[in-house]
Structure 1
Amino acid sequence: MNKFISLPAVIAALSGIAMAIQGTLNSGLYQKTSILAATLVVHIIGTVIGLIAVMVTRVPLLDYNWLSIPWYFYLGGVLSVVIVGLVALSIPKIGVSNATTAIIIGQVGAALIIDHLGLFGAERLAWNPWQFLGLLLFAVGAKLLFN
């Protein structure tokens, strides 16, 4: 099956749609409150929803050996706070489209490096010339999208 038109690709695209909506909503909350208050409230709500999902699905949280997990895997929580704050700050300044374009360029660039070096336990995937061309064209397209 074509990786571009597969269930994981569709799920990833839906994630991107959710991120654009989330960034817009978080930015609106920030403009009505403050960046720290908005970030805290967003994460409290997310924690409550996550807790409800764990309870409903009966995930056995105590069955995991949490102390054996590499420490850097827990940095996702820290990065989540940073991401919500930075996105909420950037959208009012440059708009949803420009902020999302910059976010995607940053994501793709970082993802290529993570894949190539196999960072954070990811499978190492060597670069190929087509990826460089794709990234270059992607950057050119992003520049055209910026308004």
Structure 2
Amino acid sequence: MNKFLSLPAIIAAISGVTMALQGTLNSELYQKSSILATTLVVHIIGTVVALIAVLIARVPFLEYNWLSIPWYLYLGGVLSVVIVGLVALSIPKIGVCNATTAIIIGQVGAALIIDHLGLFGTERLAWNPWQLLGLILFAAGAKLLYT
């Protein structure tokens, strides 16, 4: 099956839609409060929702050996705070489309590097010239969207 039309790709696209919605909602919340208050409230709500999901799914949360996991794998929580804050700050200044375009270019560029180097325990997937050309064309297309 074509990777582009596979279930994981469709799930990732849905994730992108939710990220654009999340950024928009967080930005509007920030306009009515402050960036730090917005970030805190969003993460408290996310924590409650995640806790409810863990309880409903009966995930054996306490059975994991959390102390044996490399420390840097927990940085996702820190990055989540940074992401919510930066997206909420950027959208009012440049708009949802422009911010999302810049986010995607940053994500794809970082993803290529992470894959190529096999960072953080991921499988090493060396880049090829087509991917680099794709990133360049992607950036050129993003420039056309960036109004």
TM-score, normalised relative to structure 2: 0.99
| Residues 1-147 of structure 1 aligned to structure 2 (within 5 Å) | 1-147=1-147
Pairwise CA distance, 1:95 = 0.2
Pairwise CA distance, 1:103 = 0.1
Displaced runs of 4+ in structure 1, greater than 2 A? Answer: none
Instruction: Give percent identity, aligned residues only.
Output: 84
Structure 1 residues not aligned, in runs of 5+? none
Counterpart of 1:126 in structure 2: which amino acid?
A: A
Pairwise CA distance, 1:76 = 0.2
Pairwise CA distance, 1:4 = 0.3
* Separation (CA, whole Å) in 1 of partners of 2:127 and 2:96: 31
* Separation (CA, whole Å) in 2 of partners of 1:62 and 1:89: 36
* Separation (CA, whole Å) in 2 of partners of 1:127 and 1:60: 38
* Separation (CA, whole Å) in 2 of partners of 1:105 and 1:3: 20
After superposition, the C-alpha distances for 1:8-47 in whole angstroms (9 at most, x for unaligned) are 0000000000000000000000000000000000000000
After superposition, the C-alpha distances for 1:47-105 in whole angstroms (9 at most, x for unaligned) are 00000000001100111010110100000000000000000000000000000000000
Counterpart of 1:59 in structure 2: which amino acid?
A: V
After superposition, the C-alpha distances for 1:105-129 in whole angstroms (9 at most, x for unaligned) are 0000000000000001110001101
* Separation (CA, whole Å) in 2 of partners of 1:78 and 1:42: 14
Structure 2 residues not aligned, in runs of 5+? none
TM-score, normalised relative to structure 1: 0.99
Counterpart of 2:13 in structure 1: which amino acid?
A: A
* Separation (CA, whole Å) in 1 of partners of 2:59 and 2:132: 41
